[in-house]
Amino acid sequence: MNSSSDIQVHNPVHLALDAYKAAVHAKDVAAFAALYDTNVRVFDLWGTWRYEGLAAWREMAQGWFGSLGSERVVVEFDEVVATVTPELAVGHAFVTYRAVDSEGAELRALNNRLTLVLQRREGGWKIVHEHTSGPVDHETAKVMLKR
């Protein structure tokens, strides 16, 4: 168990968000997958009710990064709330995903809401649950992706 000041310095939520950002920008499937627990359950914004287990989630990342061509995705987190206890940590935040071209110019951007749950494992903290979404307009049933 870490002391509380040690927990502050090595906040697993902020470390995970930074590593997520870096892995997505680098389109590095291995670095991305390393953030997650083998038994992760993800409720992702797009297309499917859940990803169950790391293999399915890694496949999603492979498809996502592979579809980008020469584009990159710059991720930004706002209003992060992190709660860290010795065994379990939770973070929630607003996310901006910005697609940029090979020169770094913005092509488009969208917002999500993100919840992350991490558990302390032998090899460090791992994401055991992730939930991303946008709010849905009641009239049209369409998702809103701009805050």
Residues found near a second copy in the complex (CB under 8 A): 41, 43-50, 81, 83, 85-90, 92, 94, 111, 113, 115, 117, 119, 128-129, 131-138, 140-145, 147
Q: How far is the CB of 89 from a second copy (least distance, A)?
A: 8
Q: How far is the CB of 87 from a second copy (least distance, A)?
A: 5
Burial 86-106 (b: 16+ CB within 10 A, else e): eeebbbbbebebeebeeeeee
Give whichever of 6 and 138 is closer to a second copy, judged by the CB atom.
138
Beta-carbon contacts of residue 126 (< 8 Å; ≥ 6 apart)? 35, 36, 37, 40, 118, 119
C-alpha to C-alpha distance for 42 and 10, rounded to whole angstroms: 24
C-alpha to C-alpha distance for 40 and 53, rounded to whole angstroms: 5
Q: How far is the CB of 90 from a second copy (least distance, A)?
A: 5
Give whichever of 67 and 102 is closer to a second copy, judged by the CB atom.
67
Give whichever of 94 and 98 is closer to a second copy, judged by the CB atom.
94
Give whichever of 124 and 135 is closer to a second copy, judged by the CB atom.
135
